[in-house]
Structures are given as structure tokens and as C-alpha cells.
């Protein structure tokens, strides 16, 4: 599979400019919400969404190639 240089640049910019901010924000809330999911079942679904935000830098890095 050949790498597209435009996709590399686009996802690299998203990685640097957006994804670290999103992951930092989501990580802070994920820790609290995940702890609350032990006794509030509805928090578990929201914690899963926040986990995707924490993993967003990995997604961007994988799309660069």
C-alpha cells in the first residue's frame, strides 16, 4: 500500500494541532467518569466515548501511513 503524501500532511497536522488537545481533555474526564461507572451503569457508555477521544492520537498516527 503506497502512502499518499497529502494524507500524511493532513493527518500529521490534525495529530499535532487537534488530537493532543482532544486526548488531554478526554483523559481528564475519562478517569473520573470511569471510576463512577462502577456504581452508575450509564457512565460506562460515556466512558467508552471518552476512551475513543483518548485514543484519537493513535488513530491520526495510523492514518498517516
| Tally of domains in the chain | 1
Q: What is the DSSP letter of 17?
A: I
Return the pLDDT at 64: 87
Which ranges of the chain would DSSP assign to H, the alpha helix?
5-14, 20-36, 42-54, 56-63
| Structural domain range at position 13 | 5-63
d(CA 48, CA 50): 5
Q: Kindly report the average pLDDT of the chain as a whole number.
A: 92
Kindly give the confidence (pLDDT) of every residue in the chain, 65 residues in length, as a single tens digit, with 9 standing for 90 and above: 566 889 899 999 999 999 999 999 999 999 999 999 889 988 889 999 999 999 999 999 999 87
Residue with cell 494541532: 17
Amino acid at each position: 500500500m503506497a502512502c499518499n503524501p497529502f494524507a500524511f500532511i493532513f493527518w500529521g497536522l490534525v495529530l499535532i494541532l487537534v488530537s493532543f488537545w482532544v486526548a488531554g481533555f478526554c483523559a481528564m474526564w475519562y478517569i473520573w467518569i470511569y471510576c463512577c461507572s462502577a456504581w452508575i451503569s450509564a457512565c460506562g457508555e460515556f466512558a467508552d466515548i471518552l476512551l475513543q477521544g483518548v485514543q484519537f492520537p493513535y488513530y491520526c498516527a495510523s492514518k498517516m501511513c
